[in-house]
Amino acid sequence: MSIGSPARTGASETAPQAPDRRWRLPDMRIPHSGLILMLILVVALASFQTDSFLTTTNLLNVLRQVSAGAVIAAGLTLLMTAGGMDFSMGSVVAVTTAVAAQLIAHDQPVWLAIVVSMAVATVLGLVNGLVVTFTKVAPFVVTLATATLLDGVFLVILEGLSVSVGAELSELGNGTTLGVPNLLVVAVIVLAATAFVMRYTVFGRDAFAIGGNEDVARLSGINVVRAKLVLYGLAGALSGLAGIMLLSRLAGSSPGTAGLPMQLTAVAAVVIGGTSLHGGRGTVVGTTLGVLLLGVVANVLNLLQISSYYHLISVGAVLLIAAVANQLHNRRK
């Protein structure tokens, strides 16, 4: 009813503040400052522990490795901001690699393999969208089901074997432009485009409105059904792109590529970046930092030759810490 707690207005504060005796976290006026701090800590720790971390080769390698995941995470950020969820993106990535790899292995032209597999990915995203929009089943349930289903389809397409594409895609996977890995270039373009859409287009703002309150969005003249279908379709298309990127880096598709584990890492990155699970809030910058943090942690564990068993433990721990920090941050605001 009343003014409650008005926004802290930063530099314009002039009135004396009463001393607050309670212990409090450092004031996080810079967005994502907690996340940046965490990233700096990990990087500093890694540089002390091993000389091979802070080398151009290694850093570029990290960035190449996180590129495909970053593309998924970008699509997921937009979707989750609109209150949606897609657990099947990693599995769509897997299916894309399998379809493209089989086509190339069966002597089809590379461009055809790319077009067909990405079309398949887009259609899969749209199917998720149709089911979610028209049955009103929770997206969590729908996409977890399709994820499991597609992980199986993936194995069927590969017939359980590894399929190599040789050097057909190595220009994308290993090539560089002006010294920057091509994979990284693609990821940066996708992230930048997503950030632009979210901030400067009405479609992006529709996503915030739908995530904030779907009823209000519909009553305000936003075509919610169409927006959701586009968002799920886009999630599928970006998964397809990520699939091609992954295939080019690994030079083949084999059981165990992508799938649900890749998806969970992407969800973790988005959540670490501060996007709300309830929708209505999200930033690409946060997601990018989340992707980087998880990528760097994985790389450091690798360099320190720590058993891969600890990989899952570290992703889980980072996610937990970041989620708690976000929550504390939001509550203080």
Q: Provide, rounded to whole angstroms, the least separation between the CB of residue 227 and another protein.
A: 11
Smallest separation (angstroms) from another protein to the CB of 80: 14
Both structure tokens of 5: 């707690």
User: Where on the phi/psi map is residue 274: left (φ > 0), alpha (ψ -120 to 50), or beta?
Assistant: left
Q: In the complex with another protein, which residue's Cβ is closer, 193 or 313?
A: 193
Binding site for another protein (CB under 8 A): 1-9, 12-15, 17-18, 199-206, 208-209, 212-213, 215-223, 280-281
Q: Least distance to another protein from the beta carbon of 220, Å?
A: 4
Q: How far is the CB of 1 from another protein (least distance, A)?
A: 5
Q: What is the largest CA-CA distance in the chain?
A: 74
Burial-class residue 5 by CB neighbours within 10 Å (0-12, 13-18, 19+). exposed
Kindly tell me which of 49 and 201 has the beta carbon lying closer to another protein.
201
Distance CA(246)–CA(223), nearest Å, equals 34
Complex with another protein: residue 281 or 311, whichever CB lies closer: 281
Report, in Å, the least distance between residue 217 CB and another protein: 7
Q: Which is nearer to another protein, 199 or 304 (CB)?
A: 199
Instruction: Determine the 3-state secondary structure of 173 from DSSP.
Output: helix
The C-alpha atoms of residue 177 and residue 165 are separated, in whole angstroms, by 22
Contact between residue 258 and residue 276 where contact means Cβ atoms under 8 Å apart: no
Decide whether 147 or 198 has the Cβ nearer to another protein: 198
**What's the rounded Cα separation, in Å, for the pair 96 and 17?**
57
